[in-house]
Amino acid sequence: MGTPPRRELDPLQRLEALMRPHPLWQRVSSLTNHDSDVQVSEADPVVLRRAFDAFVSLIDINDWLARRDAVKAEFERISASFAGMVEPPLIQFDDTIAWYLYLCELAIARPYELPTYYSSRALPFLGAIGSKLRFRGRVANLDEKILETVTKRRREPDGFIFEILVALSYAEHGFAVAFIPEGSDPTPDMEVEMHGESFFVECKRMSSRSQYAIAEEALWRQQWAQAEEVVRHNREWVWIDAQIHVELSTLPQDWLARRLAAILPLGDRYAESDDTDATIRARIIDRTALNADLVSSSLKQAGSKLRHLLGGDWVPENAMTSLSAHGTTVSAGAPPGYFSTFLSSVEWASGATFSCDADASIERKARDVKTHVGRAVAQVPDDRLSVLHIAFETLEGPGVESRRLEKVVASIEGMRSMKLVAGIILHSLQPVDSTGQLMVIDETSSEFWRLPELRDYVPIMVVLPAGFGLTARRGNHWDRPG
């Protein structure tokens, strides 16, 4: 007798099969109360699935599966093309919201295939939405806003995701919230009401990184591609810290390779090369932590943990790093791909941390929010109170973020046409590519009040839970306590 034909799953069954939680979540706790500033009450897969359902349930299931399959195919094609690369280029998808939701699927069902660099910049926001959706009954027109995010704004959903977070945060604080449909005339995003008093709320979110920062990173990758050949030739396990003092675009593409050729092999465990262009430090990698970790687990080739184990205190949180490593590999994905490759042994590895403290680089990366504040003011009426929430990501390092804050304060204090804006809250957000947690994010708020009595009622934090800002340490998250 022949093999009976395989029964095709109907769309709903297929969706549930795709979203079935990986056994990993049954073996380990995803709750991070022991090492988190925030009390965690629900497991990561729970809040991610809740957010996923909120978006996907509003569109036709066959439409979602088609979009999901297209993103999956493109991701697998890209992942396969990166095989053997030292530092692959950054990836983007036209259907960005489908990419974010596919990352939810990977986190829940196939976490070993997750590209952590990208998931760390999307999942914390969706996880925060999932955790706050229990307040959705207080938000009128929420489904319409989510539907627009997953359809009309599929290419650029980040601004709407932030609006949804702000609305749910006001609801979490006890407000009744109503999204205002967009029309031909400028309108604020939402109206909020509590105890018979109401005001408007307008939200703006800057794109995550400036084009200058993206171009600078690409130039660094080109430098490392040539320098890696020098490092590999010497066969030393070496980590490099490169602090550049001029704009990287002014240096020849083989500049780093020539600087390293002059100081390698190390011989001693440490060497330094310092001039007006850069300070280059190099040291032999201490493999103690790496070897101890490999006894019990494999290490994701494209993950942050391997870089931290190799670079140690020369790899601060969210640092720009480059890595070259080879050893015995195993794939956790089907088909195998760059982001699902793990090292069960490491025969050789080297890497580098890059930063630039050139004044011109810092100034161009420290984008001001003045334009976004001006656009937000233009959206609110002249005769009603309003509060503005402006978000930007702090991914460029302490020097850039400190300079940005200086520019922001000066710009807002110098603005004249503010209508009846009662307050402006700036949300500095820093997703973290964590070595051991799925969703980690820092949030610092900076506030400017013309009606300070409102401060006790409105959400000062929107990604983190209500009330967290009352107990958080003072200062900015990029200024780590000593």
Q: What is the mean pLDDT of each run of 10 residues along the chain (482 residues)?
A: 68 94 76 53 89 97 97 94 82 96 96 91 94 96 97 95 97 96 86 95 85 90 92 92 96 95 89 94 95 91 91 89 91 86 94 93 80 87 93 76 78 79 91 82 89 91 74 49 43
DSSP 8-state secondary structure symbol assigned to residue 184: S
Give the span between the Cα atoms of 462 and 405, in whole angstroms.
19
As a whole number of angstroms, the distance between CA 72 and CA 372 comes to 34
CA dist 73 and 67 (Å) reads 10
Residue from 254, 251, 249, 224 nearest 321 by CA: 224
Question: What pTM was estimated for this model as a whole?
Answer: 0.90
Alpha carbons 284 and 165: distance in angstroms, whole number: 45
Q: What burial letters (b/e) apply to 400-423, b meaning 16+ CB within 10 Å?
A: bbebbbeebeeebeeeeebeebbb
Question: Is 50 in a helix, a strand, or coil?
Answer: helix
Q: Environment class of residue 381 by beta-carbon count within 10 Å: exposed (0-12), middle (13-18) or buried (19+)?
A: middle
Tokens of 184: 């031909």
CB atoms inside a 10 Å sphere around CB 149: 23
Tokens of 359: 């004044």
